[in-house]
Structures are given as structure tokens and as C-alpha cells.
A and B are shown apart, each in its own frame.
Chain A
């Protein structure tokens, strides 16, 4: 097979993927107040990784980000369930969220919400499953 030179694609990817990831993180954190959230953020991050996959190949991506995405899915599910179950420690029903305002260094007064933890679970699961599916299908001939 003829080796093609995709220098432009690779260079653009190097720049673009960071922007996409930053945007996806923004979507994720903004989710509670504006459109976005764990699901769409996760998909967007996965899209950045897919772009890397297209520009390079599976092995390179594996070297850059040596994750086992199945474990990531499992970890995401675990975080989500533990967040939901954590409320049981405080004698409130399963899946009761709590929030409060904290004065954090650097960030100043910030509201912290346990729903964000749950959303992190969703975020990880979505990245995990998307990458698992794409990697599995891509690796099979």
C-alpha cells in the first residue's frame, strides 16, 4: 500500500485536538448552568481522541494515552454508583445530592455539588464506551 503523506492533517490535529478537549471540558463543567454536561462532554472528548486516531493510528494513540477504556468505563460506573450510595452514609435516601459554597484558594468562593461527581462518572463511562467500541471495531480486520 502506498504510504501517503498526511502532514497537514497531523499538524492540524495537534492543535485542534487540544481545542476540542478544552471545549469538551468546558461543556462538562458548564453543564449544570448552561447546555452541556457529562454526556455531551464525554462524547466531545472522545471525538478529539477519534481525531487523533484518524490522523495517526491505534498504536500511537495507545502510546500517548495508555488507558484501558474498559477499566475507565468500570471506574466511571463505580464513581456514579458510589456517589449515589454516599448519601446513605448521612441517613438520607439513595441518590440525594448535596451542595454548599466553599472559599477555595485560587478560585475564590465556589459552589461544590455532588452532582458533579456523578457527572464525572457519566463522563468517564461515555469516553470509555465510545473508545472501547471504536478501538474494538478498528482492530478487527
Chain B
């Protein structure tokens, strides 16, 4: 196990000590100890920057289950390192923020930090694992720890609802991803992503390629809250704000983005991948931004905004996949989409993290997150306001912040779709820039709404539960650091170009790098008068118009009734499947033995009859039959008469006697067919059985002893006749086609020679096949003890009562 492996599992190891620190050192906020972990890891990962900057990768293998090809392979390349830096860097800031956000007296901090560290380790494992099974393991770890964190305030109903919802959706996606992984293994014979990338030309011709692609994408879409799986994210806002800032803006929701980026080299040759990723991404972008505008809760607004921005990144990754098809071009314009995706990924993590922290501060200091109650906080909370306005403007894509740069590149990427001439993009591709532009307008509207409604406008402090004031400095440090990064990346975007973005792009598009294409990341502030600049101007213009007329067109949101929203569908689907499952079981499991017997016999008939018919097994051959003698016929008639009497007898006593008749006729049959041992035993046993039946009859309660004919049920009659026919047909067929000679000649020959006996039946019972007899007498012993226990323990119990 190398140092790199230790770094990945360090959060898990540290989590073990958290409860002891919490109980042992009560005076110090546990978060301070936790803070050391991401800080240390961040510093540790910085040293890999020069390595990946040179295009090198680091791979360390730790053998886990080598016989199954499952090894913990840590693989650091540009993409993994970018995510690792985000996870540890923002992780450190979030832990710092949470120290001031969560009071050490009131909260169960040991739970919180254990979950958070579990999550951090799991996330590092996802982004740094090369083995798909190990990646899946960490992937589910993120789902579980996210579930625990959302349900952190488990006494609240909404928290439990949100946790359950996110669990169901992400685990659904995770499991389908596992299916995709297994399919990939079947196709490629390896779990290693790097080896699969090398095999991508072979994989695309495999019939399992499309199912694997769909399943993997399903996993990525559910995790990254893409349409229509985005519904869990707004409900996950019941988590504490540090969790929302960390998991649901900066890291976990980007696990799906990571997966798409990571698997791009494997799948991106396919047009289906391009269409699905770009299409779902762009629609999510629009849907998220459209819905964000109507939200009145700060965190819900940010949640929809996150959904929308994730869609933006996703669509860029999809369009970026087109770059693979143009590797002969000198100036690969589609590569800009991938560069924009990576750049926006970083930008989104910075401004969304700070905005969530801002929302948390507002919540913490005023007691509410409802936009309708807030307003006019600018004078009371100037620092928070600064954070909010920079974050929002960056989110809206306004200069001079980093969001502007990535939004410009996004528009460039979308416009480049127009020039694509593959996979029918030339006809429908025009939709991409149009939807992107509309969505950007809505993005502008909700960004403005976020700031203006919260901090500007009329103060209405009487509606607030608390008297608002500026947050303590400790709570402001983390958002300030992030917002500084927003500004710094805005002014000096090329700080990141060679160290982070270029290696990440090379990792997403490795085949381009192999073909000698130079990844040239140079982010310009000023493009000149390009179409995207005019688009941005249009966004601002239309955004302002839409925002000022918000009150007039807000009614459009109420047009869709709650039942037909995706949430309504989810809720009804969940309760529907519960009640449907209940109805199914209560319909099938009636609790009546007779129903189950009907099931058993129906299946018996259906299976045997269909086998007989399909295999054409019915044969009737009379050659082996013996001649029928008259007394056999008479005895058979007696037996049938007895059996029929049982069915139609009025009283139970008659039935019992008729059963005796059947038994004694069978004994007589044994006599006729020369089986004296059987006849003896049958006579005695039949006597005992009839005596026991009479005993039962004697003890029946009065009401059931009244004479009553068995009721006729047509279904039962048909079924019993069918069972009889089935058995008869099978018996006849079996008799007509014996496959081998009987072994009885051996017994006849050897009964005296080997076993010194004359009664062959008895010799078989005690000697040739004595084993059977041994356990049959065991059965008898158990039956006797069972009867003894049932009767004695019943009376012992009734005496006690």
C-alpha cells in the first residue's frame, strides 16, 4: 500500500478517531481536528501538480482480489487531480465553515464529521480509482454517506424524506452503473479504465456497447441530477448548509460529471453518446434555470441553479466528444467545449460553494431562508452582500468574474455545434445555441433575483425570527476565500491553464493528444466582436426586461398542477408501487390453505402437461402388459366405489369407513399381486389409521359434526380431474417406454448367497438397503415424540393458565 493509497483512505482512518475526540476533548470543537485532514491532503495533492502538468500520470497498484481482476489501482492524472484538489480544498473550507455554523453544544458533531470524512474519502476514491469495481464501491460510499448527511437532523420529517429520495434515486443509478461496468468487463475483459480506453475501437463494434453506454450514463445522470433525475437535489437541501455547499454543489453532484468525462474516451466515438450527453445536459440546463426563477427558498433556488449548471457542464462534455471526430484538424474548435467544461467545473465549485455558504449565513443570522421575508440586508451584512453579489454575477456570467469567461466559452462551444456535420447535428444542432441562450437568460434572472430580493429592496425586519447582524468572522473566511478565487480566476484565468485545465483536458481527450494535437488552453478576456459577445449582451438585456416584469409572468409557473410535476410523479410512483405491492401480496397470499393448494396443483399440471406436450413424451404401448384377471376387476370396482363414496358421502363417518374400505382393498391387491409383507403391514396400518380417524371424529366440536355434504366447486373439480389425468398419462407413458432393465434379478440371485435370507423383501429392507429403514424408523420415532410433545405440552400449558 503506497502513500497515495493511504492518502485516499486517510479520511476513513481519521473518521475512526472522531467519536473519541468528541467525547474526550469536549472543550475543543471537533471540527478543528477534522480540518487537519483535508488541509494535509490538499498540500499532499499539490505536489502532483508539476507531474500532471508535464503530461505524466502516476499509477500505484494495491492488490485486493487479484483472482477476479479487482485491485485498488490509484491513478492520478489531470482529471483525477483536478477533482482531488476540489474535494480537499473545498472540503477544508467547508469544515472551517462548519466549525462556526454548527454549535458544539447542540449538535451531534461526532456523527456529522464521521459522515463528512466518510464522504470525503469516498469521493477521493471515486476520482482516483482506475479499477471500475473499486470506483463503484466508493461511488456507493458517497451515496450512503450523502444519505446520512441529508438525514443528519433525523427528527425532521422533511430530512428523512429528502434522504430517502436521494438514496433511492442515486442507488438506482449506481446499480445500473454496476450493470454497465459488468457489461464493459464482458466486452473488454478488464476492469481498468485505462485499458478499456485502449480497447475503445473494439468495444464500439460489440453488441453490448449500447446497453453498457446507457447504463453507465444512467448512473452518471442520477448522481449529477440531470433531467429527469434532478428531483432529489432540491429535497436534499434539508441537509445542514455546509453539507449542501460541499456535497450538493461542489463535489458529489460532480461525480456524474467526472464519470462522463472519465468514460468519454471509451464511449465518445459513438454518436449516441454525444446526443445523449449533450441533449440531456442542455435540457437540464434550461429546465433547472427555468425552475430556479420561481423558487422562494434561497437554498432551493441554489439547488435548481446547481442542476442547471451541471447540465451546462454536461452538455459541454457532450459537444466536446465531437472533437474526437475531427482529429485531423489543425485548429480543433470543438476542443474548446471540453476546455470550457473543465473551466466551468472549477468556476462553479468556487461560486456555488460561496453562494451556499452565503445562504447559510443569511439563514443563521436572520432565522429564515425565505426570500419573501428577506430584504434590505445590505447595510447590516455588507460582507455577506459582497460575497453574494460577486457569486451571483459570476453565476450569471457577467464580467469581470470567472463565470463570464466560462459562459463565453460555453456559448462558443454551443455555436460550434452549428458547424458540425455528423450524427444529424446539422439539422437539429441549431437548437443547442438557442436553448443555451434562453437558459442563460433565466440564469441571469434568478441570479439577480437572489441578490436583489435578499439584500436590496424594502427592509422588513419585523417578519424575521431573529434580529439580523453580520456573521462572525470565522464563518466568513471560507466564502471570502472562494469569492477571492472567483475574482482571481476572473482576472487571471491563465493561472490555471497549464497546471490544471490542460492536463484535465488531455485526460478527457487522450486520443487527440496521442495523434499529436496540442491542447492549447489560453483563455482570453477579450475575443473581439464575436457572436458570443452579442449573445451575452442580449442575455443581459433580456434578463433585465424579464426580471423587471417578473410579477406579470410569474403566473406561468402555476399552470402546471402539482400532480403532473416530476415530484408528483415520483411521489405517486412511490406510493403506487407500495400500495400495488401490498395489493399484489394481499391478493395472492390469501392465508387460506386451499388457495395455495390450488396454486400448487395448477403449476403441477401446467408444468407437467406442457413438458409432456412440448417434448411429445406421450407414448402408449400395450406390449408389456399382463392379462387382466376377473378378480382384479372386481377388486378395482370395490376400490373405486370406496373412493367415490368418500367424495359424495353425507357424513364424515361414512367417509372414514369408506377410506377403510379403500385401504383394505389395497391390502387385498397386495395379496393378489403376491406381496405378503405389504399386505400384512397394510392391514395393520390401515386399522390403526382408521382408529385414529375415528378418534379425531369423536373429538370434533359439535358444530362440525353435523352432517353436511362436501360442497361442489367447479374449479376444484376441474383441477382434480386434470391432476388425475396428468398422473395417469405420465404413468402410462413411463410404463410404455422403459429405458433400462430392472435390477431386481440381482436381488433374486443373491438373496441367499450374500445375505443368507429367504424373504427377499425383508433382506432388502434390513440388508441391501438398510439405510432407508434406519431413517424410516427415525421418522417414526420423531413422529411419536412429536405427538407426545404436542399433547403433553398443550396440557402442561393449559394447567399453568
- Give bound CA distance, A43 to B688, whole Å: 10
With both chains docked as a complex, state the minimum distance between the C-beta of A74 and any C-beta of chain B, in angstroms. Answer: 7
Cβ contact within 8 Å between B766 and A115: yes
| List of A residues within 8 angstroms of B771 by Cβ | 84, 95
- Give bound CA distance, A40 to B763, whole Å: 14
A32, A47, A122, A132: the one contacting B773 at CB < 8 Å is A122
Cβ contact within 8 Å between B767 and A37: no
Cβ contact within 8 Å between B770 and A129: no
Assuming A132-B787, A137-B695, is B781 touching A32 (CB within 8 A)?
no
Closest to B782 in A: A129
Closest to A119 in B: B766
With both chains docked as a complex, state the minimum distance between the C-beta of B259 and any C-beta of chain A, in angstroms. Answer: 60
Cβ contact within 8 Å between A126 and B777: yes
A77 lies within 8 A of chain B by Cβ: yes
The B-contacting residues of A in range 69-116, CB under 8 angstroms, are 70, 73-74, 76-77, 80-81, 84, 95, 97, 99, 111, 113, 115
A44, A80, A129: the one contacting B784 at CB < 8 Å is A129
| List of A residues within 8 angstroms of B787 by Cβ | 132-133, 136-137
Cβ contact within 8 Å between B762 and A80: no
- Give bound CA distance, A113 to B762, whole Å: 13
Cβ contact within 8 Å between A36 and B759: yes
A32, A74, A97: the one contacting B758 at CB < 8 Å is A32
Closest to A94 in B: B771
| List of B residues within 8 angstroms of A122 by Cβ | 766, 773, 777
- Give bound CA distance, A27 to B679, whole Å: 14
How does the 8 Å CB contact mask read for A47-75 relative to B, with 1 for contact and 0 for none? Answer: 10000000000000000000000100110
A125 lies within 8 A of chain B by Cβ: yes
| List of A residues within 8 angstroms of B759 by Cβ | 31-37
Assuming A36-B677, A137-B787, is B758 touching A84 (CB within 8 A)?
no
B757, B763, B774: the one contacting A80 at CB < 8 Å is B774
Assuming A44-B684, A70-B788, A115-B757, is B778 touching A37 (CB within 8 A)?
no
B641 lies within 8 A of chain A by Cβ: no
Assuming A32-B763, A36-B677, A115-B766, is B781 touching A99 (CB within 8 A)?
no
Cβ contact within 8 Å between A84 and B770: yes
How does the 8 Å CB contact mask read for B654-689 relative to A, with 1 for contact and 0 for none? Answer: 000000000000000000000011001100110010
Closest to B758 in A: A33
Cβ contact within 8 Å between B784 and A137: no
B756 lies within 8 A of chain A by Cβ: yes
Cβ contact within 8 Å between B755 and A97: yes
Cβ contact within 8 Å between A99 and B778: no
B783 lies within 8 A of chain A by Cβ: yes
B780 lies within 8 A of chain A by Cβ: yes
How does the 8 Å CB contact mask read for B736-759 relative to A, with 1 for contact and 0 for none? Answer: 000000000000000000011111
Cβ contact within 8 Å between B756 and A111: yes
Cβ contact within 8 Å between A77 and B791: no
B379 lies within 8 A of chain A by Cβ: no
Size of interface on B: residues with Cβ below 8 Å to A: 36
How does the 8 Å CB contact mask read for B507-535 relative to A, with 1 for contact and 0 for none? Answer: 00000000000000000000000000000
Closest to A73 in B: B781
The A-contacting residues of B in range 763-801, CB under 8 angstroms, are 763, 765-767, 770-771, 773-774, 777-778, 780-781, 783-785, 787-788, 791-792, 794-795
With both chains docked as a complex, state the minimum distance between the C-beta of A48 and any C-beta of chain B, in angstroms. Answer: 12
| List of B residues within 8 angstroms of A44 by Cβ | 684
Cβ contact within 8 Å between A118 and B770: yes
- Give bound CA distance, A54 to B685, whole Å: 18
| List of A residues within 8 angstroms of B677 by Cβ | 35-37, 40
- Give bound CA distance, A133 to B781, whole Å: 10
Give the bracket for the number of chain A residues in contact with chain B: 35 or more
| List of B residues within 8 angstroms of A118 by Cβ | 766, 770, 773-774
A99, A121, A133: the one contacting B777 at CB < 8 Å is A121
Cβ contact within 8 Å between B758 and A140: no
| List of A residues within 8 angstroms of B765 by Cβ | 37, 39
- Give bound CA distance, A32 to B765, whole Å: 10
A43, A99, A130, A137: the one contacting B756 at CB < 8 Å is A99
Assuming A33-B758, A33-B759, A44-B684, is B767 touching A73 (CB within 8 A)?
no
The CB with the most chain A CB atoms within 10 A, among B680, B681, B778, is that of: B680
A37, A39, A129: the one contacting B781 at CB < 8 Å is A129
Closest to A125 in B: B777
| List of A residues within 8 angstroms of B777 by Cβ | 76-77, 80, 121-122, 125-126
Cβ contact within 8 Å between B680 and A70: no
| List of B residues within 8 angstroms of A27 by Cβ | 680
Closest to A121 in B: B777
With both chains docked as a complex, state the minimum distance between the C-beta of A135 and any C-beta of chain B, in angstroms. Answer: 9
With both chains docked as a complex, state the minimum distance between the C-beta of B636 and any C-beta of chain A, in angstroms. Answer: 24
Closest to A69 in B: B784
The A-contacting residues of B in range 91-105, CB under 8 angstroms, are none
- Give bound CA distance, A12 to B774, whole Å: 37
| List of B residues within 8 angstroms of A128 by Cβ | 781, 784
With both chains docked as a complex, state the minimum distance between the C-beta of A68 and any C-beta of chain B, in angstroms. Answer: 11
Q: What are 27 A-B pairs with beta-carbon distances under 8 A?
A: A31-B762, A32-B759, A34-B758, A35-B676, A37-B762, A38-B766, A40-B680, A70-B788, A73-B784, A74-B781, A76-B781, A77-B781, A80-B777, A84-B770, A95-B770, A99-B755, A111-B756, A115-B755, A115-B770, A118-B766, A122-B766, A122-B773, A129-B780, A129-B781, A133-B788, A137-B787, A140-B791
- Footprint of B on A, CB under 8 Å? 27, 31-40, 43-44, 47, 70, 73-74, 76-77, 80-81, 84, 95, 97, 99, 111, 113, 115, 118-119, 121-122, 125-126, 128-130, 132-133, 136-137, 140
Additional pairs, 6, CB under 8 Å, beyond known A37-B765, A128-B784: A31-B759, A35-B761, A40-B684, A80-B773, A132-B787, A137-B787
